[in-house]
């Protein structure tokens, strides 16, 4: 038999095309696209289904050290399981360098957490918090050659924020090595100033998290990150953009010919700062950074997708349990929003939200959905064409979607380690009904059928030099 599996009768969608065709799979790879492919050990009937590249989520946090007494709700097993339920076949979490640690030490530990614990494929970004001469001069260049071809830097957070000088030094290494640099753009000093002032006035409820990080905080840092990257002449990705002013900074840079890319996330399309304003501590469920803004900002983020100012749509899945002193309800005595861990779960809901709110409501077309959810992630982060498309020779990473299925999002559909979803009760149309990773079905109609030793770690190529933004 020439194929292990044939996916028959579906509509294949890539970032470029939509066509009726069967998909032949052998040894985990797509080996044929066509009609009348013959027989196979397994036939999957895809009548009335869309056959899409499995989602690639290039911004998730699993098992990340989160400070004093706080524990992230997902490690690799539950995080990749939830990803699979949401139609994803590859995720890119962050390996965080703690101060004083070498990158190699951080990676050794992070690999030990991931080994044998992944339902879908994974690759790691690095988070550089301690850019010593050794780290920048020796470790990072060697690690980029070893396939760790992207890194994130922070402009805020105690213990994570880099000074402008450190940002420039790190950007220079990204330029020399060809690594992709991701930037968390918020002004640390402005946040500290506003937080102290709010607390002195007794304004400590979760909703003041948003007040402590208003739009100018993000706009200024976005502008500064772009300016610094211009000085060094290095491409950058501004992650989790939440509003028009930051988006316009990116747009202007792109119009000037700079290789500045942008990412937005479901929370900036679906939530507003009003969600943080709930009884007791319930608003803590929506505390993330940058914070959700307002309806006009949601509209701006849609425009950023429609006009391709943004090239990727990621979850920024950063889960903490709500009803838990190691999670959103930080230990007693820490009553201010300052202590609420920043981040919300979303790896399973990213794609149904973009499909339903974007494709079904006519805001974006299906090919753009594939580009934002898979193809552009693979291109930017060095996984294309092995991942991110449906083509002969690519990994058989495929999600079958029922474009008409109506689902009310409930936490029990999410299968992560958290105890809530910010989207509880949201009705969506369109749902991933089967997720296949390298030819093996891992989720079939709401049932986990894969195992956590199937996912593999993926070393990556450098993004193509001088690549145009997808
Ligand atoms: N930045 C992220 O990228 N994720 C969650 C929290 C944060 O500040
Ligand atoms: Zn960030
Ligand atoms: Zn993040």
CATH of residue 61's domain is 3.20.20.140
Any ligand 1 atom below 6 A from CB of 6: no
Same domain, 24 and 169: no
Please report whether residue 372 resides in a domain: no
Same domain, 45 and 104: no
Please report whether residue 375 resides in a domain: no
**Which residues have beta carbons under 5 A from ligand 2 (an ion)?**
184
Residue 114 pLDDT: 98
Residue 84 pLDDT: 99
- Comparing CA positions, the residue from 13, 14, 18, 10 lying closest to residue 46 is 10
Please report whether residue 465 resides in a domain: no
**What span, in angstroms and rounded, lies between the C-alpha atoms of 401 and 399?**
6
Distances in Å between the Cα of 31 and the Cα atoms of 7, 10, 24, 245, 374 are 12, 17, 6, 46, 20
Residue of the nearest CA to atom 3 in ligand 1?
Answer: 316
- According to DSSP, the β-strands at 55-60 and 50-53 are unpaired
- Quote the ligand 1 centre to 200 CA distance (angstroms): 26
Residue 466 pLDDT: 59
Tokens of 372: 């934002």
Same domain, 84 and 167: yes
- φ, ψ at 291 (rounded to 5°): -75, 155
- According to DSSP, the β-strands at 398-408 and 312-313 are unpaired
Residue 468 pLDDT: 59
Question: Which residues, other chains included, contact 197 with Cβ-Cβ below 8 Å and sequence gap of 6+?
Answer: none
Query: Which domain, by its residues, includes 275?
Result: 55-360
In this predicted model, what pLDDT tens digit does every residue of 107-163 receive, in sequence order? Answer: 999 999 999 999 999 999 999 999 999 999 999 999 999 999 999 999 999 999 999
Among residues 360, 375, 406, the one where a domain terminates is 360
Any ligand 1 atom below 6 A from CB of 184: yes
Same domain, 264 and 298: yes
Same domain, 8 and 38: yes
Residue 280 pLDDT: 83
- Quote the ligand 1 centre to 289 CA distance (angstroms): 6
Instruction: With a cut of 70, list the residues of the chain below it in pLDDT.
Output: 1, 465-469
Same domain, 191 and 233: yes
Same domain, 243 and 350: yes
Among residues 292, 325, 360, the one where a domain terminates is 360
Same domain, 15 and 146: no
Name the helix (H) or strand (E) containing 435.
strand 427-437
CATH number at residue 428: 2.30.40.10
Same domain, 128 and 140: yes
**Ligand 1 closest atom vs CA 59:** 3
**What span, in angstroms and rounded, lies between the C-alpha atoms of 110 and 172?**
26
Same domain, 320 and 434: no
Give the global pTM. 0.98
The distance from CA 259 to its chain's CA centroid, rounded to whole angstroms, is 20
The percent of the chain in helix, strand and coil, each rounded to the nearest 5, is 35, 25, 45
Residue of the nearest CA to atom 8 in ligand 1?
Answer: 289
Residue 469 pLDDT: 64
Please report whether residue 108 resides in a domain: yes
**What span, in angstroms and rounded, lies between the C-alpha atoms of 222 and 396?**
37
Cβ atoms 435, 80 nearer than 8 A: no
Please report whether residue 381 resides in a domain: no
Residue of the nearest CA to atom 5 in ligand 1?
Answer: 343
Question: Which residues, other chains included, contact 168 with Cβ-Cβ below 8 Å and sequence gap of 6+?
Answer: 228, 231, 232
Same domain, 290 and 198: yes
Residue 463 pLDDT: 80
Tokens of 14: 């890539």
Please report whether residue 199 resides in a domain: yes
**Residue written as token pair 């009726």:** 20
**What span, in angstroms and rounded, lies between the C-alpha atoms of 321 and 330?**
10
- To test the pocket of ligand 1, the residue of 74, 288, 345 to mutate (highest count of ligand atoms within 8 Å of its CB) is 288
Our count of domains for the chain comes to 2
**Ligand 1 closest atom vs CA 289:** 8
**Ligand 1 closest atom vs CA 288:** 6
Cβ atoms 264, 288 nearer than 8 A: no
Same domain, 423 and 326: no
Q: Which ligand is nearest to the CA of 92?
A: 3
In this predicted model, what pLDDT tens digit does every residue of 429-445 receive, in sequence order? Answer: 999 999 999 999 999 99
The DSSP-derived string for 353-380 is HIIIIIIITTSS-HHHHHIIIIIHHHHH
Residue 440 CB-density burial (10 A; 0-12 exposed, 13-18 middle, 19+ buried): middle
């Amino acid at each position: 038999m020439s194929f292990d599996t044939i996916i028959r009768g579906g509509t294949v969608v890539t970032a470029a095309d939509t066509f009726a065709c069967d998909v032949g799979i052998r040894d985990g790879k797509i080996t044929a696209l066509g009609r009348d492919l013959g027989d196979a050990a397994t036939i999957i009937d895809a009548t009335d289904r869309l056959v899409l590249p499995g989602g690639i989520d290039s911004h998730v946090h699993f098992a990340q050290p989160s400070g004093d007494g706080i524990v992230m709700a997902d490690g690799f097993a539950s995080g990749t399981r939830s990803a699979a339920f949401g139609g994803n076949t590859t995720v890119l979490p962050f390996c965080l360098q703690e101060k004083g640690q070498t990158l190699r030490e951080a990676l050794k530990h992070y690999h030990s957490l991931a080994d044998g614990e992944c339902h879908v494929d994974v690759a790691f970004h690095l988070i550089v918090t301690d850019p010593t001469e050794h780290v920048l001069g020796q470790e990072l260049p060697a690690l980029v050659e070893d396939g760790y071809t992207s890194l994130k830097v922070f402009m805020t957070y105690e213990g994570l924020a880099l000074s402008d000088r450190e940002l420039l030094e790190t950007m220079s290494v990204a330029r020399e090595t060809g690594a992709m640099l991701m930037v968390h753009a918020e002004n640390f000093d402005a946040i500290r100033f506003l937080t102290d002032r709010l607390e002195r006035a007794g304004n400590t409820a979760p909703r003041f998290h948003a007040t402590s990080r208003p739009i100018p905080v993000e706009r200024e840092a976005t502008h500064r990150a772009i300016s610094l990257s211009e000085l060094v002449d290095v491409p950058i990705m501004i992650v989790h953009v939440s509003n028009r002013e930051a988006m316009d900074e990116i747009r202007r840079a792109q119009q000037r010919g700079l290789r500045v890319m942008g990412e937005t996330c479901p929370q900036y399309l679906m939530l507003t700062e009003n969600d943080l304003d709930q009884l007791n501590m319930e608003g803590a469920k929506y505390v993330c950074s940058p914070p959700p803004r307002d309806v006009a900002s949601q509209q701006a983020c849609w425009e950023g997708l429609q006009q391709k100012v943004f090239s990727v749509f990621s979850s920024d899945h950063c889960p903490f349990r709500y009803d838990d002193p190691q999670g959103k309800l930080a230990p007693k005595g820490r009553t201010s929003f300052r202590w609420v861990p920043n981040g919300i779960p979303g790896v399973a809901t990213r794609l149904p939200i973009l499909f339903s709110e974007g494709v079904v409501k006519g805001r974006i077309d299906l090919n753009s959905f594939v580009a934002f959810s898979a193809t552009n992630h693979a291109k930017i982060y060095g996984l294309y064409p092995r991942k991110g498309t449906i083509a002969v020779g690519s990994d058989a990473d495929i999600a079958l979607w029922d474009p008409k299925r109506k689902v009310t999002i409930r936490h029990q559909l999410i299968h992560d380690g958290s105890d809530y979803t910010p989207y509880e009760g949201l009705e969506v149309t369109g749902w991933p009904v089967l997720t296949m990773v390298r030819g093996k079905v891992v989720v079939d109609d709401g049932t986990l059928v894969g195992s956590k030793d199937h996912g593999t770690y993926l070393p990556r190529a450098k993004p193509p030099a001088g690549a145009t933004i997808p």
